[in-house]
Copies of this chain bind each other. A is one copy, B any other.
Amino acid sequence: MRKPKKLLNNPIDVCREQLEGLIAACGGSLQKIDGISAVVRAGLRDEQVLVLTGGGSGHEPMFAGYVGDGLADAAALGDIFTSPAPNVIMDTVKSANRGKGALFIYGNYAGDNMNFDIAAELLEEEGIPTRTVRVNDDMASAPAHRMQDRRGVAGDMMVLKIAGAAGRHSRELDEVYRLAAKANDNTRTIGVALSPCSLPQTGEFNFDIPEDEFELGMGIHGEPGVRRQKMVPADQLVTELVDSLYGDLALATGDEICLLVNNLGASTYSELLIANRKVHQLLAERGIRIHDTLIGSYCTSQEMSGYSITFFKLDDELKSLYDAPCHSFAWRK
């Protein structure tokens, strides 16, 4: 079986070294928090709600790449595909806290839920209020009547965008929470994987997909998807993905969305652009307006080949916040 092939140093240093590389790229706008695997953006204001994100590493540029002006204020990072520990989350908040509490925004995974909840409880005891939005945009991970079981994937960035913009205007934790929760409610993602990902520590692929098949709905850590099937033309697949997203979001003629075609790692721009073409065609036929289109590597799964498509449904309030400027490693607007 084929082995992963990467230019690394000692695999146990990947998370530390890549974070140093990210911080170096940001020219002072992103700062390491001493002693823990966490970053905070420069320019935090007094009396602002802290928008905190985080989760396992391995999805670069998520999460640290979304820490910046108009996006997340700080990120607590775990090892590859591993939640940050409660003390890392707590220390990140205490280091960056500006007296108005913290909004936690992270993907809905058991390990993250547990560790962020423990941190939240301990912070409350210290007088720092928190609220939590567990992003659950991955519609392939559970049916619509079990929304609480859906995982968070690329849609994290939409929720961070809205929360970051809201945090520029409001100093009220509940208000920033309300808007972030609405953004999450309005976001759906579905993905397909063509090839596996690997953990640098193991040097082995986590699983295998036959050469003539793809997997619909695979998770960004390689969680099983909805089904495997033989390869089909891109337009046929994209039509199915759009149908699913359209239905799950209950879109109707006249609705407006932002679109993300996200590279899970090793797909070519050709594939992403061809998918985008079909999404635009299908939505135009249905009278859905596309306010903004993002295409590229926004939430990856190491060297996995495949992509995900995210719809973020707008209303006037969300659109205004989406259009606000932002500036981080992964997103400049």
Contact B293 A18 (CB under 8 A): no
Which residue in B24, B234, B235, B305 is a CB contact (below 8 Å) of A280?
B24
Contact B60 A5 (CB under 8 A): no
Total residues of chain A contacting the partner, CB 8 A: 63
A231 CB within 8 Å of chain B: yes
A21 CB within 8 Å of chain B: yes
A268 CB within 8 Å of chain B: yes
Contacts of A243 in B (CB 8 A): none
Contact B268 A265 (CB under 8 A): yes
Total copies of the chain: 2
A25 and B302 in contact, given A14-B270, A271-B7 (Cβ under 8 angstroms): no
1/0 per position for A299-332, CB-CB distance to B under 8 A? 0101101110000000000000000000001001
A276 and B21 in contact, given A270-B8, A270-B302, A296-B296 (Cβ under 8 angstroms): yes
Contacts of A269 in B (CB 8 A): 18, 60-61, 297, 300
Residues of chain A whose beta carbon lies under 8 Å from any beta carbon of chain B = 2-3, 5-10, 14, 17-22, 24-27, 58, 60-61, 192, 194-195, 200, 211, 214, 231, 233-235, 237, 265-278, 280, 290, 292-293, 295-297, 300, 302-303, 305-307, 329, 332-333
